[in-house]
Every structure is written in C-alpha cells, then in structure tokens.
Amino acid sequence: MSKIGTKQIEIPEKVTIEINRNKVKIKGTLGELDFILPRHLEAIKADKILNIKRSREDASTKALHGLFRQLIYNAVVGVEKPWVKRLEVVGTGFNAKMQGEDVVLKVGFSHPVIFKKTAGIKFQVEGNNKIVVSGIDKQLVGQVAYQLKMVKKPDVYKGKGVRYEGEKLRIKPGKKAKAAGAAA
C-alpha cells in the first residue's frame, strides 16, 4: 500500500501556509490556493514542514489522506513555480495564434476555433504550432490542456491534430498498406 500521505511537505521560504480548522490556504509569489480537508484529516504545521494526519484507519480515509497530501504538495510547488503543459499542432495548414488572451486554432475545420481564456490559466503560442498552457493549479492546467487537445485530437492514420509535445502516436496502416501486406 502507498505511504504518500505520511510524507512530509517542505515549505519553501516564499510560501506561507495558513491553517484554520479544516481549511488550508497556501500563498506564494504567483497566487494563492485553498483546500477544505475532509472530516478525518488535519494539517499540522511545524517550522517549515507540513504534515497531514488522519484520525481513522479505514480504506477510504487512507485514500483521501494520500490524495489531499499530494494536492497540497502540488499547490505548494505551483504557487512558487507554475505548472506547464506543452502542446503542438501538427498538420499541413494547421496553426495556432493568440487573439488577445484567447487561442485561435486553424485545424482543418471550415472555421477557426477560438479557445477562450480560463481563469487562472495563461496561454502562450511559440512559433505558429506550439501552445504553452501554464498556471498554479496542476489539475486545472492538465484539464485545460486536455480540452485544447480534444479540439482536434490526433488522427490515427496521418497523425494530424493537436497533441502533447513529445507524445508518441501509433499510426495505423491504411487500406493500401494492409492489402499490400496481405498479398505478399
């Protein structure tokens, strides 16, 4: 069984943590995040170390213990250095550009797709085919990056579409390649 919940969280100098009963507020140079801990968990801060303790030993409480410890750790890291996901737009004539704070994608549809800005998320376009999604909330960054990817998910035959940077695709052979392989 995982012991993630029992690991200590080291608090960097520029990060402050306020604990008020079951509410944990994390402030850093980039912003602040807060969490409400479940009933059987409590946060204990000593010097520059934060521990999450549980009062029950049942399976659901143990699972929540590890989950909330990791969520708080991700927040401590995120308020100091933003979480980043990189996407690339692949395909002939496919591109991305910024329009104010929104991202405009041309990905083979009859019209450009405008992806609106989400609160707490920053978009950047590098060149005309790389999109950088960043923010302090790791879960929100991953969710918005996935939504951007789903605007035009990669085609399994040609690989065209929006994908994570460095993502490996398994390209399927077309009909001709299958027929040629069967005839041989």
- pLDDT per position as a tens digit, 82-117: 999 999 999 999 999 999 999 999 999 999 999 999
12 and 63 co-located in one domain:
yes
Domain containing 25: what range?
A: 4-78
- Considering only CA atoms, which of 4, 75, 65, 3 is closest in space to residue 35? 75
CATH code of residue 100: 3.90.930.12
Per residue in 28-79, pLDDT (tens digit) is: 999 999 999 999 999 999 989 999 999 988 989 999 999 999 999 999 999 9
Q: 20, 49, 78: which is the final residue of a domain? A: 78
Looking at the DSSP bridge assignments, the partners of residue 27 are 16, 32
User: Same domain, yes or no, for 56 and 100?
Assistant: no
Structure tokens at 34: 């807060």
The last residue of one of the domains, among 43, 78, 113, is 78
Domain membership of residue 174 (yes or no) is: no
CA distances from 92 to 95, 139, 157, 182 (A): 9, 32, 14, 31
Is pTM, for the whole model, over 0.85? yes
- The answer to whether residues 122 and 158 belong to one domain is yes
Residue 102 sits in the same domain as residue 53 = no
Instruction: Specify the residue for token string 């040629």.
Output: 180
Residues 61 and 99 in one domain: no
Does residue 176 form part of some domain?
A: no
Looking at 61, 78, 95, the residue that finishes a domain is 78
Q: How many domains does the chain have?
A: 2
Assess whether pLDDT exceeds 80 at residue 7.
Answer: yes
